[in-house]
A and B are shown apart, each in its own frame.
Chain A
Amino acid sequence: MLEKYREERGALIPLLQGAQEIYGYLPGAAMERIARTLRLPAAQVYGVATFYAQFHFTPRGRHVIRVCLGTACHVRGGARIFEALRRQLGVEDGGTTADLRYTLESVACIGACGLAPVIMIDDDTHGRLTPESLPGILARYE
């Protein structure tokens, strides 16, 4: 992957995305290697990585739960869904359960507003949620 992007302009972000795909997060060593390959200062690589919400620097759960707190979800009770998940999993926003099964995150908008309130687990979108429907959905993700 490093080879493919060595000469390409604007390669830093795709490389970080690729590295995160491989490791599930961005270990420091990976970022340093990217910096060397692209001949960029490590500070710049870290600077870019920390700017974007998508990048993470600690190991994440096997399943990432993104709770939509967009406007449509907000007026239809998205905060209660988030609250219920927070209680159920016992982690804060951005936190990962001790068994590394789930990571809980709030996001600005998933873009499935017609189904509000919505959550996304990995790439699956679940809509028209009630706090009661959550345990059943979570159980499907081992």
Chain B
Amino acid sequence: MKSLMDPCCQRCAHRPETPCREYLRCRTEGPLCHDDEQCRKARQGRIEAVEGAAQAQRPTQNQINESPCWRLLVCAGTGCIASGGAPVVAALREAVEQRGMSSQVEIALTGCHGFCEQGPIIVVEPGKTFYRRVSAADALDIVDTHLAGGQRVDRLLYRLPGGEAVTCYPEIPFYARQHRIVLANCGHINPEDLGEYLARQGYRGFLKALAMERAAVIAEVKRSGLRGRGGAGFLTGQKWEFTAGAPGEEKYIVCNADEGDPGAFMDRSVLEGDPHAVLEGMLVAGYAIGAREGYIYVRAEYPLAIRRLQRAIAQAEACGLLGENILHSGFSFRVHVKAGAGAFVCGEETALLTSIEGNRGMPRVRPPYPAVKGLWGKPTNINNVETFANIPHILRRGADWYAAMGVGRSKGSKVFALTGKVNNTGLVEVPMGLSLREIIFAIGGGIQGGKAFKAVQIGGPSGGCLPESLLDTPVDYETLLEAGAMVGSGGLVVMDESTCMVDIARYFLNFTQQESCGKCAPCREGTKRMLEILTRITEGKGREEDLGALEKLAAVIKATSLCGLGQSAPNPVLTTLRYFRDEYEAHINDQRCPAGLCAALLTYRIDADKCRGCTLCARHCPVGCITGKPREAYVIDETRCVKCGVCLERCKFGAVIRR
């Protein structure tokens, strides 16, 4: 028996072909079909290997010294693979083989740990030892020193800013203040093994739902206060109720995994790290609403997520958890994966549906809402990945448990993608209502390079930029909306003093303008005009009347656009105008970019007194416009300079001046 889903012995009667209601209980608490202490022990051992180690908060020294078997959890998320994770896995396998420890050591590939900044990441269980920036060359050392020798490899441990090493990950500040629910499994189970998901109470929420009346399931989700995690924050249970109540036999469940927001990657991590949680959430929704079919619409840019999902679906089908007559309940459900084709607007629900149908992904006017008239004209319930991933927990632990977290009308936890100029970038899951300051400074570890905080951009292109004075704003749906931003998908991009807010507004406008499907004029033409104005300002050609024009355009676009993309497109401009108006004015009135970023407004020159003629700038200048003789002062030819700033970065003597 290698996985929990395997039969324990010849006598095991529970098979996928005859999946009774006790099937899952038999796999995790059993065997129930026959009495055998050996079989029970084997199952328990398997569960403990996955779950037991993760339970203990602080490991005892004994666990580290004399563990009979080790589990190396190697992050196989996109981030860690990109920082060189694959060779590490190969080297670890070889090292374990070489030392003859294959029977005692299991190397499990997991989903994202969330602390992408520190990748490649390895967690050694038992003991929760967190190794970061591991390279292939470290593999033998880990096996010899840690596994065979019972000593942690000191140089691979995470260090606090003071230099002190942190031994186990729950004590790393980045993790210590988080409250992981949706991400609880990410990084701790092998996402390609259904058995590991089961060992962590997987599919228990669905089992519980199956034993309830459909209406009761919806009531439970409603009571939990869960709101859509994709952006708008509509009450999930209410959405389910609408679809369940819509006339028609044929209904659909759709999972929106078209995470197009620049700066957000939580859906990707959940899909890659815990695909069964999404399937379980969809199953519960399917049962509650009375749908027999579900679709997951994933961006084609996420090949690993697509592969893992397809694998998870195949496993669930093989075990009778998807398909006809699931667990002998009379409920049947199938899930299809549809790869998107690269259009941001397809994240909008009506556009997404028409894209699944094989058309140009353009939104349409609502109502009728998809709950009444959705995929192929049938009632359809669409939720985002993170929303579905919350469902199993709500069913399993109850609505009250969930509703106890959060503030006001924002319940539960939310995953944020913390990126930009912050020290600890990665995925952060916190209860709703935590302040931005706590997220950015306590968990995120503050601003990179000791620079000053300037703004935080929340909610992607639909959101806004909030200044330092609003750092104590609690993060919840209502408060953020009031401040001009929104929770959105949960992207938090931190900006420091070197970020130009006009440039950021232009950046987002450029994005929405390019991604506008072009169906309605306010969005198609309006964003174009706004972009023209912003571009002009960043080029130093701004006029006094520009700011008024921007505000007027923004108001019209917001009020008259067809879908969410257009309605929210002006948000980044409006919030930067509201909180950073002085920067716009500096660009327009003084032809000056306070952050020193807008290339057209900058000049570079070399201070002859400070220049030592080291040639570094001239050698790295991409256009070769810096000339001079070694050991004499160099000169920049401003007519040819492309203002890339490489000379400034290279100069060791502070001789390059940017104005």
Taking beta carbons and an 8 Å cutoff, which residues of A are in contact with B?
Answer: 9-14, 16-17, 47-48, 51-55, 69-76, 80, 83-84, 87, 107-116, 118, 123-128, 131
Which one of B164-172, B221-229, B354-362, B532-540 is at the interface?
B354-362
B405 CB–A CB distance under 8 Å? no
> Within 8 Å CB of B259, what residues of A?
111
Given A72-B262, A115-B116: A10 in contact with B417 (beta carbons within 8 A): no
Tell me the complex Cα distance, A20–B470, Å: 48
Q: Which of A75, A108, A109 has the most chain B CB atoms closer than 10 A to its own CB?
A: A75
CB contacts between A and B, total, < 8 Å: 147
> Within 8 Å CB of B300, what residues of A?
17, 54
Tell me the complex Cα distance, A53–B360, Å: 11
Other contacts beyond A84-B622, A110-B301, A115-B116: 19, CB < 8 A: A10-B357, A14-B338, A17-B339, A17-B341, A48-B360, A51-B343, A53-B343, A54-B341, A70-B262, A70-B263, A71-B493, A72-B263, A72-B420, A109-B262, A112-B116, A113-B263, A116-B425, A125-B81, A131-B646
> Within 8 Å CB of B646, what residues of A?
131
By Cβ-Cβ distance, the 10 closest A-B pairs, closest first, are A114-B116, A70-B262, A53-B342, A125-B82, A52-B341, A12-B358, A72-B419, A54-B342, A109-B262, A71-B263
Q: Are B343 and A52 in contact (CB under 8 A)?
A: yes
In chain B, positions 241-264 with a C-beta closer than 8 Å to chain A are 259-264
> Within 8 Å CB of B81, what residues of A?
125
In chain B, positions 269-307 with a C-beta closer than 8 Å to chain A are 299-303
B622's partner among A74, A87, A124, A125 (CB-CB below 8 A) is A87
B31 CB–A CB distance under 8 Å? no
Q: Are A127 and B82 in contact (CB under 8 A)?
A: yes
Q: Are B426 and A114 in contact (CB under 8 A)?
A: yes
Tell me the complex Cα distance, A51–B517, Å: 8
B359 to A: closest C-beta gap in Å: 6
Residue of A nearest to B356 (CB): A10
B508 to A: closest C-beta gap in Å: 8
Q: Are B341 and A107 in contact (CB under 8 A)?
A: no
B573 to A: closest C-beta gap in Å: 15
B535 to A: closest C-beta gap in Å: 14
Residue of A nearest to B82 (CB): A125
B240 CB–A CB distance under 8 Å? no
Q: Are B341 and A13 in contact (CB under 8 A)?
A: yes
B220 CB–A CB distance under 8 Å? no
Tell me the complex Cα distance, A12–B358, Å: 5
B200 to A: closest C-beta gap in Å: 24
A52's partner among B260, B342, B417 (CB-CB below 8 A) is B342
Residue of B nearest to A10 (CB): B358
Q: Are A71 and B79 in contact (CB under 8 A)?
A: no
Tell me the complex Cα distance, A118–B262, Å: 12
In chain B, positions 571-615 with a C-beta closer than 8 Å to chain A are none
Tell me the complex Cα distance, A52–B341, Å: 6
Residue of A nearest to B360 (CB): A51
6 A-B pairs within 8 Å (CB atoms) are namely A9-B357, A17-B300, A51-B360, A75-B499, A112-B265, A116-B425
Tell me the complex Cα distance, A109–B491, Å: 12
Tell me the complex Cα distance, A115–B420, Å: 10
A31 to B: closest C-beta gap in Å: 14
> Within 8 Å CB of A73, what residues of B?
262
> Within 8 Å CB of A9, what residues of B?
357-358, 376
Q: Are B116 and A76 in contact (CB under 8 A)?
A: no
Q: Are B268 and A111 in contact (CB under 8 A)?
A: yes
Q: Are A11 and B358 in contact (CB under 8 A)?
A: yes
Q: Are A114 and B419 in contact (CB under 8 A)?
A: yes
The interface bits of chain B over 141-164 (1 if a CB of A lies within 8 angstroms of the residue's CB, else 0) are 000000000000000000000000
Q: Are A115 and B79 in contact (CB under 8 A)?
A: yes
Q: Which of B259, B356, B359 has the most chain A CB atoms closer than 10 A to its own CB?
A: B359
Tell me the complex Cα distance, A32–B645, Å: 49
B369 CB–A CB distance under 8 Å? no
Residue of B nearest to A108 (CB): B262
The interface bits of chain B over 503-543 (1 if a CB of A lies within 8 angstroms of the residue's CB, else 0) are 01001100100010100000000000000000000000000
Residue of A nearest to B494 (CB): A75
